[in-house]
Amino acid sequence: MSDNKVIGRVLATEKCPTTIDKFTFWTKSNLILNPFDVVKIEHVNGSHSYGVIEDIAHITDAASFLTNFISSDFGDVGVEANTLRVGMNYVTAKVACNDKNIYIPLQSNAKVMLATADEIEYALGLNGIQNPLVCGYLEMYEGTEGHKKVTLPVSLNSKFIIGPEGAHLNISGISGLAAKTSYSMFLLKAIQDRYLTNEDEDDSVAFVLFNVKGKDLLAIDELNEFSDSKNPEKAQETLFKQYEALGLTPEPFKNVQYYYPYSIERTAHWNTYLSPEEVKEKLETKKGKMYKYIYEDDKENLDLMFANVDDSTQTMDSIITYIMSGQGDFGTISTWQEFLECVKKKCSPDKASSDKEIAVTSWRKFYRIINKSIADNRIFANRVCPEDNETRLEESLKHIKKNEVHVIDIAKLSEDKQAFVFGDAIRTIYDLQLGQYNGEANVNPPSRIVIFIDELNKYASKDAPKNSPILRQVLDVAERGRSLGVVLFAAEQFRSAIHDRVTGNCSTHAYGRTNSIEITKSDYRSIPDVYKTMMTRLNQGEYIIQNPIFRSLLSIKFPKPIYKQFK
């Protein structure tokens, strides 16, 4: 049987003509095809065009629904109709390319064939990709008569996801079913594998990840044990083969360093979902540190505590400026407790500030927010003890080196403190790549740093206050980060909730399973209706990918995480 089996012919009617961009063809009603399958079509001058299937419909010669009803003895479901209806499937497809760059409309009655694996690669732009970075694999023609299922690894040009040609990844999908974190980590694993053997100092990468859910990312340097599987050894062996087939090493992440919020054992201030024993083991093996914030070193980041506070009159900003300039008694304090006491004095009418432009009510609002964030948690401390594996995040992150993975645990912190830690880390990385720490000892950053954050809606939603310092920082990364070597990998449940300037600056988009309400939003306007419907029923491990180097949207799959999973 020929590799290029003819399955139908192009249709061109008065009401449904072929165009430069789209065409329709008929095929047998029992031939199994699927959206995203690629077909090959004969075209003029001995050329061939390739199309990607978007929709499939079935039609008969019945003039109306009533015709079928009448032919079944007026609705008797047990009767076989006397009149045999002529039926066929007609398939709507989008032109992907032509092998001789001829893009006049496809001609009526042209032969439509199934494509070979090599032709699929050519049609989708998957062949000859420079700087290949595997992003999953595609399966095509599953169940199609007369054709074997095609499985192909899918790679994209790494320079179009981590720079300099393009940067940033946005992943969307509903919680639990979309496996956003798993797919992000699969891509990060592929990037680390690629760069571990790269000796070029001008083309290097490191990673900063935020753990925002339970223990999700707190054992990425340990192998997946498949403890929930009936046959763990078999499951692990199968996973290893999948990774090797994609050109990846069957190993977890390397060069990993964990940062846990400073915690005190057997108190309410245990700030991580790991047990004290698990944390102690990481600290003793020098794979983990506890981070703190010290007033004298971290007061410059006070504005981050107001990231979700609408400050349209800029009164909070004025107070922060007042404090930073050392006015009043603020030039003499050195601890968080002294700072809170100094702010509290400003809240008393008889101790009102001599600066009449800042009202007492504003100081009281400022105190409520600051006191809530600082007074109830030990991460705001008076000193750091390096000998006890304690650190300041800024101090550690500015010394990040190529191929290192720094995981910052914020899962158990309250939302305001999560925002503070996230903002502090982003600001440090941004300043590092701007050269603010050049000249300091042991500062030698890689050319690019990839930041991964889930639940981006907390920091860059359309509803975030316009004056939010974290929103400004995220927008800066999205718009200028590519040129500075700061790359954002972000995930959220609903893409439509994210600031347009963030999603608009992402070169790669991954769509996981979502709901029927979400796909009606304007963010999905450019996606064909059938593909949008498919998004509502994608399985775990399936994503629809969009990237500038691909000639079409791709439906890809990826293997389970190689690192340890907590259930």
**pLDDT at position 218, please?**
94
Can you read off the two tokens belonging to residue 429?
Answer: 């990385």
**pLDDT at position 268, please?**
67
CA distance 424 to 64: 65
Q: Are 318 and 303 in contact (CB under 8 A)?
A: no
pLDDT at residue 354 is higher than 60: no
Which single residue is written with the structure tokens 């790991």?
274
Report pLDDT digits (tens) over 189-219: 999 999 988 877 788 999 999 999 999 999 9
Q: What region does 11 belong to: left with phi over 0, alpha with psi -120 to 50, or beta?
A: beta
Longest C-alpha distance within the chain, in Å? 98
**pLDDT at position 170, please?**
94
Q: CB under 8 Å to 548, separation ≥6 — which residues? A: 160, 166, 507
pLDDT bin (cut points 50, 70, 90) of residue 436 is very high
**pLDDT at position 402, please?**
93
DSSP string, 132-170: EEEEEEEEE-TT-TTSPPEEEEEEEEGGGTBSSSSB-EE
Return the minimum-mean-pLDDT range out of 29-38, 67-76, 214-223, 492-501. Answer: 67-76
pLDDT bin (cut points 50, 70, 90) of residue 81 is low
341-351 mean pLDDT: 80
Q: What is the mean pLDDT of the chain?
A: 88
**pLDDT at position 198, please?**
80
pLDDT at residue 254 is higher than 70: yes
Domains of the chain: 6-116 (no CATH), 159-218+245-292+390-539 (3.40.50.300), 296-374 (no CATH)
Q: Are 553 and 542 in contact (CB under 8 A)?
A: no
Bridge partner list, 554: 545
Bridge partner list, 154: 136
In the three-class reduction of DSSP (H, G, I as helix; E, B as strand; rest coil), residue 48 is classed as: strand
**pLDDT at position 433, please?**
93
**pLDDT at position 178, please?**
58
Q: Are 489 and 168 in contact (CB under 8 A)?
A: yes
CA distance 380 to 468: 22
**pLDDT at position 1, please?**
37
Tell me how many degrees the CA angle 392-398-401 measures, rounded to the nearest 5.
Answer: 120
522-544 mean pLDDT: 89
What whole-number percentage of the chain has pLDDT above 90? 51
What whole-number percentage of the chain has pLDDT above 70? 96
Alpha helices in 406-504 (DSSP H): 415-434, 457-460, 469-484, 500-503
Can you read off the two tokens belonging to residue 508?
Answer: 């790669």
Report pLDDT digits (tens) over 84-134: 777 889 999 999 999 999 999 999 999 999 999 999 999 998 888 888 999
**pLDDT at position 205, please?**
94
pLDDT bin (cut points 50, 70, 90) of residue 83 is low
Can you read off the two tokens belonging to residue 420?
Answer: 């503070």
**How close are the terminal C-alpha atoms of the chain, in Å?**
49
CA distance 379 to 269: 9
Closest CA to 493 of 466, 517, 469, 475: 517
Report pLDDT digits (tens) over 455-486: 898 888 888 888 788 888 999 999 998 999 99
49-74 mean pLDDT: 84
Closest CA to 535 of 188, 184, 171: 171
Closest CA to 405 of 163, 188, 134: 188
**pLDDT at position 485, please?**
92
Bridge partner list, 93: 23, 53
Q: Are 491 and 456 in contact (CB under 8 A)?
A: yes
Mutual orientation of helices 415-434 and 360-374 as an angle, nearest 10°? 90
Closest CA to 547 of 508, 514, 521: 508
Mutual orientation of helices 360-374 and 315-324 as an angle, nearest 10°? 70
* pTM of the predicted structure, to 2 decimals: 0.89
Q: Are 191 and 209 in contact (CB under 8 A)?
A: no
Report pLDDT digits (tens) over 264-312: 876 667 889 999 999 999 999 999 999 999 998 888 888 888 877 777 7
Pairing mode, strands 205-211 and 448-453 = parallel
pLDDT at residue 543 is higher than 50: yes
Bridge partner list, 315: none
Closest CA to 547 of 173, 126, 35, 181: 126
Residue 235: count other Cβ atoms within 10 Å of its Cβ.
17
**Range among 224-238, 392-406, 541-555 with highest mean pLDDT value:** 392-406
Closest CA to 288 of 408, 157, 378: 408
Return the minimum-mean-pLDDT range out of 62-66, 154-158, 515-519, 553-557. Answer: 62-66
**pLDDT at position 2, please?**
46
Pairing mode, strands 87-98 and 48-60 = antiparallel
